């Protein structure tokens, strides 16, 4: 496992995403993930699975201190009136004293970076989180947040996969010492896994297509990925990517897929994304 060192945070580069996992299924997958060696779990208040994530963590028997746990506050709660209660509720549902990383899930429409940064810093000052960061922030918004924040930001969690050119954001994160954590890292499988180049590289390296794509992520400096799976057999598959390497020409070949410039998560509340 590679660890990303991002402004004081040590983030395992490969984590488990949990969006759309709920209840017993979620608890069981989190438990099994930790048993096969995952040490990074991603959740959010919006996923409505924090209780189950907490259950899975406790059932695994893995020491809480050995797990990097991230949660996210939904933008409508990023207000002076709503933020503290939102974070307190999150910790209570998870059954933990603090999280390792607290993110603002999407850039809020209300207030500005000064207020958002103050709220995040307050949670860290109050011991509710070790590290703070954002999700779905553009380069411009990231710059403003860095300026406004007393504490350094550890991470920007954004959509990233071979169909999207995130080189501008990657450079901005690197400039600020932050990790870029990829969501939807395998584009949920298809049509990415049917791309001839992904099929060829899977054959060449005798790896699965998911492993080729996940390896591509972590071969970008400062980048990690949080693939989700509800399939126990896929947990080890998605994690076992640290014992082979893609060649420079393999990385270049995968890069050509970004002409498609396609997003899965693009909503009416999305910010004006960085240009490709």
Ligand X SMILES: NC(=O)c1ccc[n+]([C@@H]2O[C@H](COP(=O)([O-])OP(=O)(O)OC[C@H]3O[C@@H](n4cnc5c(N)ncnc54)[C@H](OP(=O)(O)O)[C@@H]3O)[C@@H](O)[C@H]2O)c1
* Min dist. Cβ of residue 240 to ligand X (A): 10
Determine the 3-state secondary structure of 49 from DSSP.
coil
DSSP state of 60: H
Q: Is 160 in the site for ligand X (CB under 6 A)?
A: no
Among 188, 203, 204, 261, binds ligand X (CB under 6 A): 188
* Min dist. Cβ of residue 43 to ligand X (A): 7
Q: What are phi and psi of 168, to 5 degrees?
A: -65, -50
Q: Is 60 in the site for ligand X (CB under 6 A)?
A: no
47 is catalytic: yes
* Min dist. Cβ of residue 233 to ligand X (A): 9
Pick the piece of the chain touching ligand X (CB under 6 A) from 91-99, 163-171, 181-189, 194-202. Answer: 181-189
Q: According to CB under 6 A, which residues from 80 to 119 bind ligand X?
A: 105
Q: What are phi and psi of 198, to 5 degrees?
A: -70, -40
Q: Is 265 in the site for ligand X (CB under 6 A)?
A: yes
Torsion (CA) 181, 186, 188, 189 in degrees, nearest 10: 180
Q: According to CB under 6 A, which residues from 1 to 40 bind ligand X?
A: 17-19
Q: Is 42 in the site for ligand X (CB under 6 A)?
A: yes
Q: Name the residue with the smallest CB distance to ligand X.
A: 17
Give the distance, in angstroms, between the CA of residue 253 and the centroid of all CA atoms in the same chain.
25
44 vs 17: CA distance, rounded Å: 10
- Provide the terminal-to-terminal Cα distance of the chain, rounded to the nearest Å: 30
Whether 32 and 57 have beta carbons less than 8 Å apart is answered as no
Pick the piece of the chain touching ligand X (CB under 6 A) from 81-89, 147-155, 234-242, 253-261. Answer: 234-242
Which parts of 97-195 fold into alpha helices (H)?
113-125, 139-148, 167-175
Catalytic positions, please?
47
Residues that bind ligand X (CB under 6 A): 17-19, 42, 105, 135-136, 157, 183-189, 208, 210, 226-231, 234, 237-238, 265
């Amino acid at each position: 496992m590679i660890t990303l060192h991002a402004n004081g945070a040590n983030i395992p580069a490969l984590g488990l995403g949990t969006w759309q996992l709920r209840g017993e299924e979620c608890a069981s997958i989190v438990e099994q993930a930790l048993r096969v060696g995952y040490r990074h779990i991603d959740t959010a208040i919006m996923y409505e699975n924090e209780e189950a994530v907490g259950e899975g963590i406790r059932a695994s028997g893995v020491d809480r201190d050995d797990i990097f746990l991230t949660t996210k506050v939904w933008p409508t709660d990023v207000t002076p009136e709503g933020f503290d209660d939102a974070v307190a509720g999150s910790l209570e549902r998870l059954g933990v004293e603090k999280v390792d990383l607290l993110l603002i899930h999407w850039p809020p429409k209300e207030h500005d970076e000064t207020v958002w940064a103050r709220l995040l810093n307050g949670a860290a000052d109050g011991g509710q989180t070790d590290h703070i960061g954002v999700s779905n922030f553009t380069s411009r918004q990231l710059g403003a947040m860095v300026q406004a924040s007393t504490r350094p930001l550890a991470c920007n969690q954004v959509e990233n996969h071979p169909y999207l050119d995130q080189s501008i954001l990657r450079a901005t994160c690197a400039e600020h010492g932050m990790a870029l954590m990829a969501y939807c890292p395998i584009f949920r499988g298809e049509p990415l896994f049917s791309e001839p180049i992904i099929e060829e590289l899977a054959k060449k390296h005798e790896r699965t297509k998911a492993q080729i794509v996940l390896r591509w992520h972590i071969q970008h400096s400062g980048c990690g990925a949080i693939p989700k799976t509800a399939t126990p057999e896929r947990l080890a598959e998605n994690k076992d990517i640290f014992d082979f390497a893609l060649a420079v020409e393999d990385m270049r070949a995968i890069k050509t897929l970004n002409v498609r410039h396609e997003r899965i998560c693009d909503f009416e509340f999305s910010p004006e994304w960085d240009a490709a």
